Amino acid sequence: MAGKTLKIDLRRARILELLDRDRQVSVAQLSEALGATTVTIRTDLAALERENRLRRVRGGARAVEPEPGFGSWPREKAAIGRAIAERVRDGERLFINSGTTSRAVAAELRRFRELAVVTNSPPVAAMLCDRFHVVLLGGSVSAGGDFTSGEDTLNQLARYQTDWAIVSVDSISAAEGVSICHPEESAVSRGMLERAARGVIVADHTKVGRTGFVRMCAAAAPLMLATDREADAGELDALRSAGVEVLLA
């Protein structure tokens, strides 16, 4: 049974690779490329659609395009979300802060069957509350409604411990550390990192090597950085030297 499961996983991974390259594929094309029957391919496509990995169309499937609200660099942020989803496991507990990259991660997490999520982001909570147990941290709401912060938020945050903290930031550099653009949210995001077994900074390449407004923490072990492949190679090497694990999407 384990061998059969592995074969299925490899075949479906190859389907997603072809979709990422071509954006749309046909059942006949996949059947020929993978040496599987059309019935098997249709079963694979149905399973991948339930996980929000693709959209079925007549005779095949198309890639899932980034959802509205991802801001600039949506495809890169979607790739970061997929890379994080490859590390997370069903049943785990997660902190997620606010930001467009956090939303991109949340969109990819919808493929899971069971997660527990604690967030200070109303948009993230809205994206996930129909799928999982979600705790939206109370407190003062930002002017744009993007996040909660303040003493009430921190007091509630202190009740939880998680497997992961997924934190979207404004900038990260080996020399200047990790920064966030909203002073009022900095303490909440830092608290998430402190109360999680693993902390991952999610940031597209435009934020790597920059100096931000409010320094949140040092860029050092045991942090992980998930970014896209356009990030400056020299800065990534400096971060690795500082002990940051780098995950390229």
Q: Up-side HSE of residue 126: CA atoms within 13 Å toward CB? A: 9
36 burial (CB, 10 Å; 0-12 / 13-18 / 19+) is: buried
Q: Please indicate whether residue 140 or residue 71 has the higher confidence score (pLDDT).
A: 140
- Percentage of residues in the chain having pLDDT higher than 90: 75
- Give the separation between CA 189 and CA 167, rounded to whole angstroms: 6
Q: Does residue 49 surpass a pLDDT of 90?
A: no
Q: Does residue 1 surpass a pLDDT of 80?
A: no
Q: Does residue 53 surpass a pLDDT of 80?
A: no
- Which of the residue ranges 22-31, 46-55, 201-210 would you say has the lowest mean pLDDT? 46-55
Average pLDDT, the chain: 91
Of the candidates 166, 188, 190, the residue with the CA atom closest to the CA atom of residue 178: 190
- Give the separation between CA 116 and CA 118, rounded to whole angstroms: 7
pLDDT in tens, 16-36: 888 878 889 999 999 999 999
Q: Does residue 193 surpass a pLDDT of 90?
A: yes
Predicted local confidence at residue 5, as pLDDT: 46
pTM of the complete model: 0.75
Q: Up-side HSE of residue 248: CA atoms within 13 Å toward CB? A: 9
End-to-end CA distance of the chain: 31
Tokens for 179, please give them. 């920064």
* Domains observed in the chain: 2-63 (1.10.10.10), 74-248 (3.40.50.1360)
Span 171-182, mean pLDDT?
94
Q: Does residue 69 surpass a pLDDT of 60?
A: no
